[in-house]
Amino acid sequence: MILASFAPWWGLPLLPVRHLTLVALAAFPLAVLGARLPGMAAWNFVICGWFAAALLPHLQQSWDAPTWHLDTAWLLFLAGLLAMGVSNYLPTRFYLAALVLGGLLAWNLWAMRLGANSDPVWELAGLQAGLGLAGWLAWSWPVPEAKDAVTRRWLQLRDAYGLAWGVRIQEQVQAAARHARIVGQLTWFGLEPDEGQPLDTVGWQRLLDAVAAKFMPESATDCQPPATA
């Protein structure tokens, strides 16, 4: 979007550049959906397929054509993918950044629909301010306080991969805990004990680490319990 906002100043056609920027941004929610071992490398072919399909409008019309446009079907498909990416992080600590970014993306998609070929000064300033605000919120928003190592690891996974993977991880770990007869509940906000029963944090930790190794293999041992004599 930074390139798109400066396109008029550099003499570039705004609509094709704006579309390229949105296509690149849409690749991120797609990449998150395939961020699990095994199969992470194979998912790269899906990302390549997305770029190949999304760039078809640039092959069907001249880059600098004054009537350059994006068909409604393509625009709706792109909007749906971006909306999925934004909504994926609304239940996480990045919700404010996701809301700001979502508003920015919605405005750009609407501008694509209108077919505007130039941006006024206030629009350029607004785009840059919105991007800066979303980045600052994502970087500076405080991490929720964790009561134990299990909750800390769970919040890392939940916030990094969003709702799509978070719900699935939560269900898998909870089902494994029931099968192993480990008491407690893994809620969206962390590990909670059953009434009147002590938590087996070591058991929960092992179950969650087994799942975390498929997403964060380089940090799979961060929450391992200390060795005891």
Q: What region does 198 belong to: left with phi over 0, alpha with psi -120 to 50, or beta?
A: beta
Question: Which of 5-9, 88-92, 147-151, 206-210 comes out lowest in average pLDDT?
Answer: 5-9
Mean pLDDT of 7-29: 79
User: How confident is residue 226, by pLDDT bands cut at 50, 70 and 90?
Assistant: very low
Q: Is residue 226 part of a domain?
A: no
Is pLDDT above 70 for 224? Answer: no
Q: So what's the pLDDT on residue 189?
A: 92
Q: Could you tell me the two tokens for 137?
A: 């919120």
Q: Are 199 and 220 in contact (CB under 8 A)?
A: no
In terms of domains, do 79 and 183 share one? no
Verify that 166 and 84 share a domain, yes or no. no
Q: Which of 122, 140, 158 is the last residue of a domain?
A: 140
Domain annotation covers residue 229 = no
Residues 121 and 74 in one domain: yes
More confident residue, 66 or 200: 200
Task: Give me the number of domains the chain comprises.
Answer: 2
Cα–Cα distance for residue pair 215/218, rounded to 1 Å: 9
| Spatial separation of the C-alpha atoms in residues 105 and 94, rounded to whole Å | 16
User: Do 36 and 19 fall into the same domain?
Assistant: yes
Note whether residue 25 is domain-resident. yes
Question: Is 70 exceeded by the pLDDT of residue 200?
Answer: yes
107 in a structural domain: yes
Ordered alpha helix ranges (H), 66-117: 72-88, 95-114
Structure confidence by residue, pLDDT tens digits, 64-75? 777 788 888 889
Could you tell me which residues come within 8 angstroms of residue 219 by beta carbon, excluding any fewer than 6 positions away?
A: 212
Whether residue 99 sits in one domain with residue 35:
yes
Question: Is the same domain home to 170 and 208?
Answer: yes
Q: Which domain holds residue 200?
A: 149-219
Last residue of a domain, one of 108, 140, 172: 140
Same domain for 109 and 174?
A: no
Beta bridge partners of 187: 190
Among 116, 140, 164, the domain-final residue is: 140
136 plus 40 within the same structural domain: yes
On whether residue 228 sits in a domain, the answer given is no
- Residues for the chain: how many in total? 229
- Per-residue pLDDT band for 215 (boundaries 50, 70, 90) equals confident
Same domain, 64 and 111: yes
Q: Is residue 227 included in any domain, yes or no?
A: no
Q: What is the DSSP letter of 147?
A: S
| Residues ≥6 apart with Cβ < 8 Å to 89 | 95, 97, 98, 159, 162, 163
The answer to whether position 225 is within a domain reads no
